[in-house]
Structure 1
Amino acid sequence: MSSEYRTGREGEFTYRGHTLDELQDMDLDEVAALLPARQRRSIERGLSVEKEKLLEKASDRTEQETANDPIRTHLRDMPVLPEFVGLTFSIYTGQEFERVKVEPEMIGHYLGEFKLTRSSVTHGQAGIGATRSSKFVPLK
């Protein structure tokens, strides 16, 4: 495939035809118009007080500050906005806060999508007498 048929510049991030710099210059309503329906609706209905505070915190911080001291939040249902790119968040999983560095590809998703609340179950071996077949397991 020759380069004359490719659209956009190679290696440059775009979201729905807009570069990251253009997205960061837009106001919240313009960005909301580009987001998927569920995220757009949550912004159009108005952000809660907690989400407004998180947005303020993120706009005041720089990448260097959040790398050392991430923004702690319980708001797993906050949509990732262009202002969050480059910042580090500590997202609560129900037991602990886990760090997430926001990349440009995360725009339009929710913060909670990047840290799971349930861990996978790894079962050990059955103990002696746990099942009928375990009676015949040789001891070590």
Structure 2
Amino acid sequence: MSSEYQIGHEGEFSYRGHTLEELQDLSLDEVAELLPARQRRSIERGLSEEKHKLLEKARDAEPEETANNPIRTHLRDMPVVPEFVDLTFAVHNGQSFERVSVEPEMIGHYLGEFQLTRTSVEHGQAGIGATRSSKFVPLK
């Protein structure tokens, strides 16, 4: 099974044959050619005004600055591009903003993939009105 990104024997990251530095030097259209089809298509059709604003904020931000004050966004469908690497975003999950630190391996995915919108439910003991069988709680 082949992978889109690789960690070379020197420990250097590469995405589809390009190092991170090479990817960061490419224009958005050139990066789009390397992305998977869905993300490439969304960029080719044109990013919305909000996505352009997020991209500009990311270009102006410093990694140390975003560690303490992450870039807040509701744009879960924004593809992760090389300019986002080492930045911290606060992605909205429908209830609150949760931190997402972008790593090189996240390139080509969406921001929303790294912040789940549903939490796992852990039920407690059966309450009043429960059936007799569900009230049984073993002692051991």
Q: TM-score, normalised by structure 1?
A: 0.88
1:28 to 1:136, Cα distance in 2 relative to 1, 3 A:
closer
TM-score, normalization by structure 2: 0.88
Q: Distance in 1 between matches of 2:62 and 2:14?
A: 22
SS at match of 1:43: helix
Report the CA distance between 1:91 and its aligned residue: 0.2
Offset of residue 9 of structure 1: 3.7
Q: Does 1:11 align with 2:4?
A: no
The alpha carbon displacement at 1:132 in A equals 2.1
1:118 equivalent in structure 2: 118
RMSD: 1.8
Quote the Cα distance in structure 2 between the aligned partners of 1:134 and 1:27: 60
How many residue pairs match? The answer is: 132
In structure 2, the CA distance between the partners of 1:23 and 1:30, relative to structure 1 (3 Å rule), is same
Confirm or deny: 8 A CA contact 2:71 2:89 kept in the other structure: yes
1:65 is matched with which residue?
A: 65
What residue ranges of structure 2 are gaps of 5+ in the alignment?
A: 1-6
- Percent identical: 80
**1:68 Cα deviation (Å)?**
1.1
Report the alpha carbon displacement of residue 16 of structure 1 after superposing the two structures with TM: 0.2
Task: State the one-letter code of the partner of 1:28.
Answer: L
Report what 2:104 is aligned to: 104
* Distance of aligned partners of 1:14 and 1:137 in 2 relative to their CA distance in 1, 3 Å threshold: closer
The residue aligned with 1:75 is 75
C-alpha distance in structure 2 between counterparts of 1:136 and 1:112, whole Å: 40
> Secondary structure, in 3 states, of the residue corresponding to 2:39?
helix
Residue type of the alignment partner of 1:81: V
Conserved 8 A contact 2:125-2:135: no
Change in CA separation of 1:66 and 1:90 when aligned onto 2, cut-off 3 Å = same
| Contact 2:88/2:100 (8 A) holds in 1 | yes
- Pairing 1:93–2:93 present: yes
Gaps of 5+ in 1: 1-6
Deviation at 1:135, TM superposition (A): 6.3
- State whether residues 129 and 135 of structure 1, in contact with CA within 8 Å, keep that contact through their aligned partners in structure 2: no
- Contact 1:128-1:134 at 8 Å conserved across structures: no
